[in-house]
Homo-oligomer: A and B are copies of this chain.
């Protein structure tokens, strides 16, 4: 390993997905939950780059509503110094990362990570970071290409091109979430990786790319940070300025348009834990394929995921079911159909069947 600059983790905690409803809500998004371990997804993400000289203090970009909870979680795992940038409005990932880039020194290397993914093999992740660092220091924007192991239709794909450094390839093309037939051809061709939304670049490279391809976004983020108020570890970017930023993802706004974009293929036990089925796959199971969590009494069950955060959940004689219970809502569906949670949440929102704040959460 060459003597590289320290890397600043930039952790994006802005999401408020409902794919893990009823446990995840707007006010209690996935990254703040304990799903795979006693630690929350955010804490696991922080832990992945903590305790080594290789990484500097992290920058967390988050929704203002979650500030107290985030600081409590950060402090609970003993991560001392950090910056918490509180987005005045939701503008998707490209502007959020811009805030972090303007907060950092220009030459800082930023490791941008979602706050709610699983990476089982941290050493493999660190090795991939090491592989990318050289080209990143040379000005490239790098992404990590997750080894595709199934014809997934829920992810974007990256077509890998020529090798530009050992274990680093030029991105030939970012492609949208495919249909199942296309996904299978990507898998068969062998030169596609999943886009896991993890990036490595210097602050200066990102800002330069943003200024080139999305100047309105760059100037809004810059002004918001120039006028930001800092209180302790919290940074509050200017609301008016940031509000003027267009809203877009880093993939669409920057990566697909920038010159010199690299991908580092990596196999690291990655999962976005994007559904209850995904959590079932990750979970430790008993001899009958059951994963139960919380106050659960299951008799003669097979291949079930049963989680309770509140009531006693009893099940007898059922198989291949997902049952998720909280103090105010219970979800029951077959395994391998957990994408349908979206239909439940949409229906609740549409029909105002229940108080959204209570059962789903409302967008802020």
Contact = CB atoms under 8 A, between A and B. Distances in A.
Contact of A340 (B310, B316, B344): B316
A329 interface: yes
Interface in A260-306: 295, 297, 299
Determine how many copies of this chain the complex contains.
2
A85 interface: no
Interface string A313-350: 11111100101011111111110010011011001100
Nearest to A359: B312
Contacts of A313: 329-330, 332
B332 A297 contact: no
A17 interface: no
Contact of A316 (B295, B297, B343): B343
A18 B341 CA distance: 33
Contact of A332 (B321, B348, B353): B321
Nearest to A354: B312
Contacts of A347: 297, 299
Nearest to A338: B316
A332 B323 contact: yes
A333 B311 contact: no
B314 A344 contact: yes
A348 to B, nearest CB: 7
Contact of A295 (B295, B323, B340, B354): B354
A333 B318 CA distance: 6
**Which 3 A-B pairs rank lowest in CB-CB distance, beginning with the nearest?**
A315-B332, A312-B329, A313-B330
21 contacts: A22-B312, A22-B314, A297-B344, A297-B353, A299-B344, A299-B347, A311-B311, A311-B327, A312-B330, A312-B348, A312-B353, A313-B330, A314-B344, A316-B333, A316-B337, A317-B334, A317-B337, A318-B321, A318-B332, A318-B334, A323-B330
